[in-house]
């Protein structure tokens, strides 16, 4: 069994990512983007692509580094610490993993564009208030040699800025995944800012034409392509949430060392020490679950689903605990917009819902174990 600690290459990757993100994507930049109403940063994403991050899961023949899922999680974890804004999970993880399942020249070309940072993707799956891919009702009706797509998608993360969309729709005998340009006739995007200052578009498809070339994988068998991609996205999101937890924890501990009451640093108070120690332990255990999920995906993604759900469930709980403790231990200042802890709390809330909330993943684990 692989040890649940980062190897030398992963440690070097984390250090490199940390150096770039501290300079290029501090939390102060997110605040500036929020205040300006900006939800994407194409220039910084291009810099990330130049560093090889956009191609972390892209085969070398398509211009990627093909470092694997564990490496992708390392990058996502570091992004979480500074709340970096990028389409990394949507494009470099979810879309790249889906396209890798298809062995043809078109998919290879699309992967090359992802790796170069020239094209970004968004996943259009959600229709109700909860994540439920199997329950998708959007219709893709056969029309000659192609299809006509009609329906609505919501909570399409990075959807307002994406160049292309991975759209899940119901066909005659199952679900089919389509890869279509975001500006195709009949695709109407309603951009909206989430509470974490990121975009999650509502997209309406009105008689959108799709040809056989737009189908990713086989008709009526979308989950063969999409399931591995969703698993990869959930693992990377869990890693980002754990990085978020570390960022909030670090900010809180720094405050405990500086803030004084009765002439004494509040970090000397035993009750606060116990709470900080408990949070640190939760982050460490969750980090092990993230590493395990990455290892399982790299070894055999077809049997990694339970490990991924465990990672996402734990990451959700840990992130919410981290931001709640952060706000409480900062006292009144923790509730103000002038202080950065609120950004961590808002991102934690949104991330908790994306790609399945705690209950969704807990139920999957329970079912796997026969409960």
CA dihedral 96, 100, 105, 106 (to 10 degrees): -40
Q: Is 169 left (phi over 0), alpha (psi -120 to 50) or beta?
A: beta
Backbone angles phi, psi at 271, to 5 degrees: -60, -40
Angle, in degrees to the nearest 10, between helices 222-258 and 69-82? 40
pLDDT at 1: 40
In the DSSP assignment, the letter for residue 182 is T
pLDDT at 2: 46
First to last CA, the chain: 27
| In contact, 71 and 56? CB cutoff 8 Å | yes
pLDDT at 338: 84
Q: Which of 121, 183, 135, 194 is nearest to 351 (CA)?
A: 194
pLDDT at 340: 92
- Tokens, residue 230: 């969703």
- Tokens, residue 148: 């006509």
| In contact, 170 and 223? CB cutoff 8 Å | no
| pTM score of the predicted model | 0.95
| In contact, 354 and 237? CB cutoff 8 Å | yes
CA-CA distance, 243 to 37, in Å (whole number)? Answer: 25
CA-CA distance, 249 to 277, in Å (whole number)? Answer: 10
CA-CA distance, 38 to 357, in Å (whole number)? Answer: 27
**What residues contact residue 109 under an 8 Å CB cut-off, 6+ apart?**
62
Handedness of CA 359, 363, 366, 368 (dihedral sign): negative
The 3-state DSSP class for residue 162 equals coil
The domains of the chain, with CATH numbers, are 8-119 (1.10.540.10), 122-221 (2.40.110.10), 223-368 (1.20.140.10)
- Computed over its alpha carbons, how large is the radius of gyration of the chain? 21
Show pLDDT as tens, one digit a residue, over the chain (371 residues). 445 788 899 999 999 999 999 999 999 999 999 999 999 999 999 999 999 999 999 999 999 999 999 999 999 999 999 999 999 999 999 999 999 999 899 999 999 999 999 999 999 999 999 999 999 999 999 999 999 999 999 999 999 999 999 999 999 999 999 999 999 999 999 998 889 999 899 999 999 999 999 999 999 999 999 999 999 999 999 999 999 999 999 999 998 998 888 888 888 889 999 999 999 999 999 999 999 999 999 999 889 999 999 999 999 999 999 999 999 888 878 778 888 999 999 999 999 999 999 999 999 999 988 88
**What residues contact residue 138 under an 8 Å CB cut-off, 6+ apart?**
127, 149, 150, 151, 152, 153, 167, 168, 169, 170, 205
Q: Which of 294, 309, 290, 325 is nearest to 358 (CA)?
A: 309
């Amino acid at each position: 069994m692989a040890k649940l600690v980062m190897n030398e290459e992963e440690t070097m990757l984390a250090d490199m990512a940390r150096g770039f993100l501290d300079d290029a994507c501090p939390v102060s930049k997110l605040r500036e983007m929020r205040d300006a109403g900006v939800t994407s940063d194409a220039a910084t994403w291009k810099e990330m692509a130049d560093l090889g991050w956009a191609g972390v899961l892209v085969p070398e023949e398509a211009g990627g580094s093909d470092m694997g899922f564990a490496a992708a999680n390392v990058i996502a974890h570091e992004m979480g610490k500074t709340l970096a804004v990028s389409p990394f999970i949507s494009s470099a993880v979810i879309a790249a993993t889906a396209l890798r399942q298809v062995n043809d020249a078109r998919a290879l070309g699309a992967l090359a564009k992802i790796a170069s940072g020239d094209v970004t993707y968004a996943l259009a799956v959600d229709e109700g208030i909860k994540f439920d891919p199997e329950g998708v009702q959007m219709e893709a009706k056969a029309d000659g040699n192609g299809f006509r797509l009609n329906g609505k998608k919501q909570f399409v993360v990075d959807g307002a800025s994406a160049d292309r969309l991975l759209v899940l729709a119901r066909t005659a005998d199952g679900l089919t995944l389509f890869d279509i340009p975001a500006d195709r006739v009949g695709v109407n995007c309603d951009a909206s800012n989430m509470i974490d200052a990121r975009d999650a578009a509502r997209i309406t498809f009105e008689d959108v034409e799709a040809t056989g070339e737009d189908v990713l994988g086989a008709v009526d068998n979308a989950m063969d392509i999409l399931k591995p991609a969703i698993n990869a996205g959930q693992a990377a999101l869990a890693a980002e949430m754990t990085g978020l937890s570390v960022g909030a924890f670090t900010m809180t501990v720094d405050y405990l060392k500086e803030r004084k009451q009765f002439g004494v640093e509040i970090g000397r108070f035993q009750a606060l020490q116990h709470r900080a120690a408990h949070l640190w332990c939760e982050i460490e255990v969750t980090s092990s679950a993230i590493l395990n999920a990455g290892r399982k995906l790299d070894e055999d993604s077809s049997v990694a689903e339970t490990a991924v759900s465990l990672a996402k469930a734990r990451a959700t709980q840990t992130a919410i605990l981290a931001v709640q403790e952060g706000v409480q231990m900062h006292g009144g200042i923790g509730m103000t917009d002038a202080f950065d802890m609120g950004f961590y709390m808002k991102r934690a809330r949104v991330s908790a819902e994306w790609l399945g909330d705690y209950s969704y993943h807990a139920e999957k684990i329970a079912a796997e174990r026969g409960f």
